Amino acid sequence: MGSFFDGSKAGPPYAGDPRMSGRGQGAAGSPPFLGLQTSSFADFLASHSPGLLPGRMMPGGSADPDPGTPGQGVRDLPHATTIIAAVCDRGVVLAGDRRATAGNMIAKRDVEKVFRSDEFSGMGYAGTGSVGIEFVRLFQVELEHYEKMEGRSLSLEGKANRLAWMVRGNLAAAMQGLIVVPLFVGYDEDTGHGRIFSYDVAGGPYEEQRFYSIGSGSLFARGALKKLYVDDMSPADAALACVQALYDAADDDSATGGPDLPRRIFPVIATITADGFRKLPEAEAAQIAEQVVRERLVRPDGPAAALRNG
């Protein structure tokens, strides 16, 4: 069963097996609640309460409460913005800003968009905040449920494939404006390296090399990382480079929030290595953010990358 999620088997999960799809009929013609032997919690949930899945509760088939103002309801929902990931020495760093916007307004200044998926993986999201949080929570339960049912965890590639299947299930809602795009990262126990996977609204996944960013400020963040990133950086240096890139993104993108020293609001930073997922304490994140702000007071455009000749 894990072969589909590991990428070695094509087709939708549990195809042709009603028992494993979570839709087997009981004696009274209804699915037996305790008789569904499936490793997928999302599939189990779909058989009993499909409306609880992300993007499935669309009253009247539209995300817009007022037909006279198309898209107004979607624009008023808080949207998360910039997430950055960078591969480091034997691991990966994931960082996100804290701002959520609703149209041209700042909806929230201290949103968290970086989360632990399991011991060796994490994810961040950009897009509609409420749907993104549902994705995060469901994916966390999905990985826990699989491990309990199978007695082993999915491979990192299998986790990425599973998340892609969930993103694809939100396509109908995404077409109506409730778009969520995750950035999934993790430590690959088989290779001993960090890996990054990006997605589009139709699924994916696409493996990215070295570093990547999603969200409204991603263009500026990736441009900054092109100059700052060095292969085999330490986790501390990679975290510093990510915060520098977030600062540049906030400098050019109004939807991305930079370090807010007066309010003590700093980017969320996490490292995933052989030691597992570690979210940096607020004091460490503050130290990195304050270092970046101090350096920008001297050099507003940030550090320059040295040219290598010969």
Residues identified as active-site: 81
Q: Output DSSP code: residue 100.
A: E
Q: Which residues contact 275 (CB under 8 A, 6 or more apart)?
A: none
Residue 82 and residue 217 in contact, taking contact as beta carbons nearer than 8 Å: yes
R_g (Cα) of the chain, nearest Å: 21
Q: How far is Cα 238 from Cα 159, in angstroms, rounded to an integer?
A: 24
Helix (H) or strand (E) holding 163: helix 156-169
Residue 218 and residue 210 in contact, taking contact as beta carbons nearer than 8 Å: no
Q: Output DSSP code: residue 260.
A: B
- Burial bucket for residue 126 (CB in 10 Å: 0-12, 13-18, 19+): buried
Q: How far is Cα 268 from Cα 288, in angstroms, rounded to an integer?
A: 11
- Residue-by-residue DSSP string for 47-66: HH-GGGSTT---GGG-S-S-
Residue 286 and residue 264 in contact, taking contact as beta carbons nearer than 8 Å: yes
The residue ranges of DSSP E strands in 173-281, in sequence order, are 180-188, 193-200, 203-208, 211-214, 268-273, 276-279
Q: Nearest Cα to 179, choosing from 187, 191, 171, 169?
A: 171
Q: Which residues lie across from 87 on neighbouring strands?
A: 92
Sheet holding 276-279, edge to edge: 211-214, 83-88, 91-96, 268-273, 276-279
